[in-house]
Amino acid sequence: MKKLEEYVRSIPDFPEEGIIFRDITSVLQDADGLHMAVEGLIDQLKDVDFDVVVGPESRGFIFGMPVAYELHKSFVPVRKKGKLPCETIEKEYALEYGTAIVEMHKDAIKPGQKVVIIDDLIATGGTIEAIIQMIEELGGEVVKISFVMELAGLKGRDRLAGQDIVSLIRYEGK
């Protein structure tokens, strides 16, 4: 049986020279790879007491939804600004060149709810940091953060110090 990292396509010198782009779409395009990734995320949560899964647009939707479904939990999408129809809470965060804003519905997290965040990749941790702030502002508690892949060289874990973070695949570089 193949290991999950064997389903990840590595593309050298993209988006710039010296960078190895880790392409998650090759995992999604293979039924065994997708199954392995989702089952791996579910396994990471087997002893975690939580109420809701939060997933950022768009690959957090792809991986978070089947986990929420399988574990019979609710799912909360985090979207880019302007994509949600009801009253929202938002956070701005830094990108490599500029800033971005993510938002979620104000009624998505209830006070006291225990939350798991699921996404495809942790790089610098900026998006997840903004999501944690929104969850806490709404009265929720982040109890675990699960990723399919981690680019350890970008030090996202450092930015999210104090959080319970797991990843299925860890790449030491950027």
- Alpha-carbon distance of 145 to 160, in angstroms, equals 10
- Alpha-carbon distance of 131 to 104, in angstroms, equals 9
* Catalytic position from the list 59, 157, 159, 170: 59
Tokens encoding 138: 């709404």
User: Is 96 assigned a catalytic role?
Assistant: yes
User: Is 9 assigned a catalytic role?
Assistant: no
SS (H, E, C) 47-65: CCCCCEEEEECCHHHHHHH
* Catalytic position from the list 16, 17, 87, 96: 96
> Where is 12: in which H helix or E strand?
strand 9-12
Q: Which residues are catalytic?
A: 59, 96
